[in-house]
Chain A
């Protein structure tokens, strides 16, 4: 029995082919992973399957129904969680559940769901005040309310920490019946490796469908195999780093310093006793579960939030006392894409370059240089909003690097980016560090944490461990960073 049958499906957006003569079958009662590069057509395929888009050519049958013509009937049977799930941020956790239960016409019986999501304690909290991981769990709980026959999840684990990610996976496995079919799109290949089936999309076509374990035994091998399928990744000399000159004028021992940083809201400590000293050319990773205080620390470091006590120094300059000067050394890449979407790639670059003090001929020269380095030639006159996510992140990085800052602050730079682009990014980051850039980075990808020279693991507002990746692994006897992360968090919970 197949839950989903797609044959010769084509979908175009103006002149762009998103889905190209695609055929596939998804078996009933199985968990199927959907993998692919940015712009490969994953989200489009999902939206076609749930009936939110109409195909140009071809047929789709979902649970023996036509998703467009029999949408109302189909809606009763599927649970769909889009990338950005529509939780009402101004309602509490419980009110959200009640609202969706009423909309789906199911009884208000949330005990099991609340227990599984570990949201019992937070029933009365506003959904907007939940951490990223908890929001996703609540979203999933809402989708699971009506016990759907088909569960469609579009990258539910983007921006979610390893522990919450495990919880999400566990929720799905425990709460569905054996007959439930799951279609799960993900950028995490270890997740995909644990599913019954994996589908790899590339340029709107299926390039692999089968058991992940047949392709590779371990998830690490699986990742390499998938990268090969997607056209392979050759580690090249980073052009970005080659053209980078660390404009380090001050001779300070530690380029980035946090000294007893503390942020208090009333009685609640979002961050306390946070100290670290980062040397020139070091990659320093901030890891931790969602809501542990990473982002708050990050914000205090770049002057977006004022610490309640303690100091942060950039190139020896206090960020609170002399913010303009301190920030001029800083290249900042925000968690969420935050460039001007309505203007073109070039206009964004030009704006940020001039804000950081490049003008006239210098500006023109640097613009051409950076457009060349990042390969923006073809998209330079395109509006930023039209770019795929991977390109947006590249543009954010280009804007952060445009003034050759000696220090880079990267807040989840690879969130939502495909595996090949992620490797490219880290190639740039490590090469930049070799040329003298100091990097402060946060990430939820534990394989990326291995690239860091040192890591500070954050939990409940405090750094519970600082050290090299190897040191941390040894401390708890873990074989990889993910295990080390989970063990260290559990250890400090005791």
Chain B
């Protein structure tokens, strides 16, 4: 027993050495997370800022200027350009020089004064569906608030006061950064594990391992622990960076976070090792990762909420480890999680780990046939 334990230790030691001495895998565990973290934190955002607007003001009165001034003073809108006709606007939108057009009719102030409803036309660039909707939202808010100012006695007005819990200012960064920590952990773990066996197959060293007295289980344990350790350390480091450098709150307990990470990463190691065990070259393994990752990310709830998916896809997400990994990370970071929720989210992950790791170990044995 002790003898076997020492053999596994030797395997683990070798695995760490190989991960560390290979410049490629060193890049995967050091450069990739840092670069991605910085990139995602700064470049990718779904908030729309610095919106450029063009205005056709046919009214040219105090009222219309007041409205335009509201746009100019809003933090989201950067530049308000005054133009004369609709053709100019068309051109500006076509060339993506502006993101929004505002059209004020010549009877705007007259109608307001006579307390008659009036229209304002907002034109957005529908090619960018998401930003268009967000910009239109911002613009309606501004116009609504102006509308209240000019006619406060317009009957019983219901003011909506939204409160975004767990992310009060709807900081998009909070959302994206927790997701990024998960995504990076997923990618690093998959790459380390999926490439490891495939590389050994390519080099012929896997035969050498199989010919040794190590059993399939020994090899599996030796292949599981090192990437798991690396990914754990990395995830903790990234979570730390995200909370301290980017100001994302960490509400939940560190203990439940560690448990959640461990279980989630274990399932990723399982998936990675399974991919690796059925591939004979590193190239195939990389394709395998992509084939798994694309649908898994789509079905994780990151891009569109799971509740909005068709029913059968919703069921499919139960087999997706990234779905549970993401919801665990987000919940623990932003909200804190109850033991029961932690348990509910962990069960599928444990199940996935057991299945994939058994499959991987089984296919080591198959290799011998």
CB-based contact A324/B18 at 8 Å: no
Verify if A306 is at the interface (C-beta below 8 Å from B). Answer: yes
Give the distance to chain B from A318, nearest Cβ to Cβ, in Å.
14
The contact of B213 among A305, A339, A347, A356, by CB within 8 Å, is A356
Decide if A330 is an interface residue (CB 8 Å cutoff): yes
- Please tell me which stretch of B178-186, B199-207, B349-357 contacts chain A, meaning at least 4 of its Cβ atoms lie within 8 angstroms of it: B199-207
CB within 8 Å for A338 and B204 given contacts A347-B14, A355-B212: yes
Could you tell me the distance between the alpha carbons of A405 and B339 in the complex, rounded to whole angstroms? 54
**Residue B17 is within 8 A (CB to CB) of chain A in the complex:** yes
| Known contacts A355-B7, A357-B7, A359-B6; A340/B14 CB under 8 A | yes
Determine which of A306, A327, A351, A383 lies in contact with B14 in the assembled complex, contact meaning CB atoms within 8 Å.
A351
**9 cross-chain CB contacts under 8 A:** A303-B368, A304-B210, A304-B211, A306-B368, A324-B213, A334-B204, A342-B21, A352-B212, A354-B7
Q: Is A147 an interface residue (CB 8 A)?
A: no
The residue from B17, B209, B213, B215 contacting A343, defined by CB atoms under 8 A apart: B17
- If A334-B207, A355-B212 touch, whether A343 touches B6 (CB-CB below 8 Å) is no
Complex CA distance for A355 and B7, rounded to whole angstroms = 5
- List A contacts of B214 (CB < 8 A): 324, 355
B210 touches A303 (CB 8 A): yes
Any chain A CB within 8 A of the CB of B299? Answer: no
B328 interface residue, CB < 8 Å from A? no
Closest to B211 in A: A332
Any B CB within 8 A of the CB of A108: no
A304 nearest CB across to chain B (Å): 6
A224 to B214, CA, bound (A): 44
From the candidates B6, B205, B207, B368, name the one contacting A340 in the complex (CB within 8 A). B205
Q: Which residues of chain B are within 8 angstroms of A354 by Cβ–Cβ distance?
A: 6-7, 9-10
Quick check: is A277 within 8 A (CB to CB) of the other chain?
no
The reply to whether the CB of B208 lies closer than 8 angstroms to some CB of chain A is: yes
Task: Known pairs A304-B211, A334-B204, A343-B14; list 9 more (Cβ under 8 Å).
Answer: A305-B368, A323-B368, A328-B213, A334-B207, A336-B204, A337-B204, A338-B203, A347-B17, A352-B208
Instruction: List, in ascending order, chain B residues with CB within 8 A of A334's CB.
Output: 204, 207-208
Residues of A within 8 A of B205 (CB): 338-340
Residues 211-229 (chain B) with a chain A CB within 8 angstroms: 211-215
* CB 8 Å contact bits of A445-464 with B (1 = contact, 0 = none): 00000000000000000000
Cβ-based interface call for A264 (8 A): no
- B369–A339 touching, CB < 8 Å: no
Which residues of A from 315 to 350 have beta carbons under 8 Å from B? 323-325, 327-328, 330, 332, 334, 336-343, 347, 350
Scan B154-168; emit 1 where CB is below 8 A from any A CB, else 0. 000000000000000
| Distance between B352 CB and nearest chain A CB, rounded to angstroms | 29
Chain B hits for A304, CB < 8 A = 207, 210-211, 367-368
Are the CB atoms of A338 and B369 closer together than 8 Å?
no
Are A343 and B10 in contact (CB-based, < 8 A)? no
B213 engages A355 (CB within 8 Å): yes
Q: Is A49 an interface residue (CB 8 A)?
A: no
- Chain A's closest residue to B203 (CB) is A338
Q: Which residue of A lies closest to B366 (CB)?
A: A306
B11: Cβ under 8 A from any A Cβ? yes
Q: Does B307 touch A at the CB level, under 8 Å?
A: no
Chain A residues with CB below 8 A from B21, complex form: 342-343, 383
**With the chains together, A330 CA to B210 CA distance in Å?**
12
Q: Is B3 located at the chain interface by the 8 A CB criterion?
A: yes
Residue A256 lies at the interface, judged by CB distance under 8 Å to chain B: no
Closest to B212 in A: A355
Choose among A303, A339, A383 the residue that contacts B211 (Cβ–Cβ < 8 A): A303
How many chain B residues have a CB neighbour from A under 8 Å? 27
A414 to B22, CA, bound (A): 29
What DSSP secondary structure best describes chain B's contact surface? helix
A334–B211 CA distance with the chains assembled, in angstroms: 10
How many A residues touch B, CB cutoff 8 Å? 31
Q: What is the distance, in angstroms, from B204's C-beta to the closest C-beta of chain A? A: 3
Chain A neighbourhood of B207, CB < 8 A: 304, 334, 338
Q: Is A302 an interface residue (CB 8 A)?
A: yes
User: Across the two chains, which residue of chain B brings its CB closest to A341?
Assistant: B203
The answer on a CB contact under 8 Å between B18 and A343 is: yes
Interchain CB contact under 8 A, A325 and B208: no
Contacts of A356 in B (CB 8 A): 212-213
Contact with A along B1-16 (1 / 0, CB 8 A): 0010011011101100
Q: How far is the CA of A1 from the CA of B190 in the complex (A)?
A: 61
CA distance A327 to B213 in the complex (A): 5
Q: A339-B205, A354-B6, A355-B11 are in contact. Are A324 and B17 (CB under 8 A)?
A: no
- In the complex, the chain A residue whose C-beta lies closest to that of B209 is A355
Those of A27-41 within 8 Å (CB) of chain B: none
Give bound CA distance, A338 to B3, whole Å: 25
Shortest Cβ distance from B13 into A: residue: A351
Residue B10 contacts which of A302, A327, A342, A351 (CB distance < 8 angstroms)?
A351
Contact A357 B210 (CB under 8 A): no
* Contacting residues, chain B, for A305 (C-beta < 8 A): 368-369
The verdict on A355 contacting B10 (CB below 8 Å), with A334-B208, A343-B17 known, is yes
CA distance A357 to B5 in the complex (A): 10
The smallest C-beta distance from B202 to any residue of chain A, in angstroms, reads 10
B208–A342 touching, CB < 8 Å: no
Query: Whole-angstrom distance between the alpha carbons of A347 and B84 in the complex?
Result: 77
The answer to whether A339 touches B208, judged by C-beta atoms less than 8 angstroms apart, is yes
**Shortest CB distance A397–B (Å):** 13
Give the residues in chain A near B18, CB-CB below 8 Å: 340, 342-343
CA distance A69 to B311 in the complex (A): 67
- For residue A353, which residue of chain B has the nearest CB? B10
Q: Which of B17-60 contact A (CB under 8 A)?
A: 17-18, 21-22
Expressed in whole angstroms, the Cα–Cα distance for A185 and B21 within the complex equals 34
A270 to B11, CA, bound (A): 34
Residues of A within 8 A of B9 (CB): 354
Measured CA separation A342–B367 after assembly (Å): 25
The smallest C-beta distance from A463 to any residue of chain B, in angstroms, reads: 23
Whole-angstrom distance from the CB of A492 to the nearest CB of chain B? 29
CB of A306 within 8 A of CB of B369, answer yes
Check B3 against A357 for contact (C-beta < 8 Å): yes
Interface string of A348-383 (1 = CB under 8 A from B): 001110111101000000000000000000000001
Sorted from nearest, which 8 A-B pairs have the closest CB atoms? A338-B204, A354-B10, A306-B369, A328-B213, A332-B211, A351-B14, A355-B212, A342-B21
Nearest-Cβ distance from residue B154 to partner chain A, whole angstroms: 74
A332 touches which of B208, B215, B367 (Cβ 8 Å): B208
Would you call B212 and A327 a contact (CB within 8 A)? yes
Q: How far is the CB of B198 from chain A (nearest CB, A)?
A: 15
> Quick check: A325 and B213 within 8 Å, CB to CB?
yes
Query: Which residues of chain A have C-beta atoms less than 8 A from B367's C-beta?
Result: 304
Instruction: Find chain A residues with CB under 8 A from B208 CB.
Output: 332, 334, 338-339, 352
Q: How long is the Cα–Cα vector from A306 to B210 in the complex, in angstroms? A: 13
Q: How far is the CB of B212 from chain A (nearest CB, A)?
A: 5
- Please indicate the chain A residues that have their CB under 8 angstroms from the CB of B6 in the complex: 354, 359
Q: Which residues from A are CB-within-8-Å of B10? A: 350-351, 354-355
- Closest Cβ of chain B to A88, distance in Å, is 14
Q: Which residue of B lies closest to A329 (CB)?
A: B213
